[in-house]
Amino acid sequence: MDTPERLRARPIQAPFHVVLVEPEIPPNTGNIARLCGATCAPLHLVGKLGFRIDEHAVRRAGLDYWHLVEVHTHDTLAEAEAFVRESAPDRSPRTWLFSGKAERSYLEVELALGDILVFGKESVGLPEELLAERQSEVVGIPTLGAVRSLNLANSVSIALFEGLRQNGALAVQRDT
């Protein structure tokens, strides 16, 4: 019996840039890295990490897809944003700061290919001063229940796939 082909869409180079500011929990970052590998989205890790990402640590964690992920590390969010803008001069990427304290839903904004999707650390999210300073860029994922916030990896998945959907990037590629 033949194994069916996997459901695939046409790859897009760097459709979105996923930025994690000081991620703390290795399995969350591992799940997000896998998501980035599956969507061709570069992963940017900013600031102090709560774990190691050297080859030995990645191999020990069983992240056999790590080589499929374009990973960049930066000291600051500003450095990450500058790197993205310099690496894609033909695009004018916007930055979207995702927060559980947002007043505007991510569904109310147009996510354009090349945009920068920024998520904070699991314990406290993004810094309050950053959210206050850049209010027009802050969006959140609405929830129905009383939980404080969603898991980081789930939040990145929701945002990234909504951006891909908005831009028609999920059309299934069929062999004819």
Q: pLDDT of 64-110, one tens digit each?
A: 677 888 999 999 999 999 999 998 878 889 999 999 999 999 999 99
Residue-level pLDDT at 60: 55
Residue-level pLDDT at 61: 52
Task: Classify residue 7 as exposed, middle or buried by CB count within 10 Å of its CB (0-12, 13-18, 19+).
Answer: exposed
Residue-level pLDDT at 3: 54
| pLDDT tens digits, 157-173 | 999 999 999 999 988 76
Fill in the amino acid letter for 176.
T
Residue-level pLDDT at 116: 97
Considering the domain delimited by 17-166, tell me its CATH architecture.
3-Layer(aba) Sandwich (3.40)
What is the enclosing helix (H) or strand (E) of 18? strand 17-21
pTM given for the model: 0.89
CB distance 37 to 69 below 8 Å: yes
- Where helices occur in the chain by DSSP H, the ranges are 26-39, 55-60, 77-87, 128-133, 152-166
Residue-level pLDDT at 172: 77
CB distance 115 to 16 below 8 Å: yes
